[in-house]
Amino acid sequence: MLKALLTTLIMLCLACYPVIVYVGLTQFNSQLLSIVLLFLLALRLWLSKALFDKMPWLKPATFLAVIAIVLSKVFDSDVGLRLYPVIINIVMLLVFSYSLYKGPSIIETFARITEPELDEQGVQYTKKVTQLWCVFFIVNGGIALYTSLFASLAVWAFYNGVIAYVAMGVLFALEWLVRLKVKRKARV
């Protein structure tokens, strides 16, 4: 129970990564911030061993984030700290794209949790949704990269800590509404 609670807490902290970086860089020194972030990432790796099969992107994303944070310290620049959202988008794009190539698509895998007997129309629909998420990761990752390299820390934190999550939520909601409509149409 404690492990699950700690894992959830760490995942929430890492979801708030842009806010942590913003506060850390504006209120504390970058050395302390780097230590805290590396500690959180190491804890995630240690506590999430059981999730690696279900979330294959977790390990490479964590290792790439550690490299970015270390490089940020080596080059005395906060750019490495800002690249975490870019890394997450790249890794997710690779995972979703690979699932389209290798099959089944990530979204089909999720859909089969509630509908194990997914028909061919459902499989094709889930492929299209997976492709849509790939486009999202390209666009979102591109904007995250731009804000990492060219925007102020405040703009970077606002985009990656608020706007990107709102955009994901909107995409989830729209896809859910379209899915309901497609299911209703298939039943008729």
Check pLDDT > 80 for residue 165. yes
Tokens describing residue 71: 């490089």
Q: What is the pLDDT of residue 70?
A: 85
What percentage of the chain has pLDDT greater than the value 90? 32
Global pTM value: 0.84
Q: What is the pLDDT of residue 51?
A: 66
Query: Residues, the chain, total?
Result: 188
Q: How many whole angstroms from its chain centre is CA 2?
A: 24
Q: How many whole angstroms from its chain centre is CA 89?
A: 6
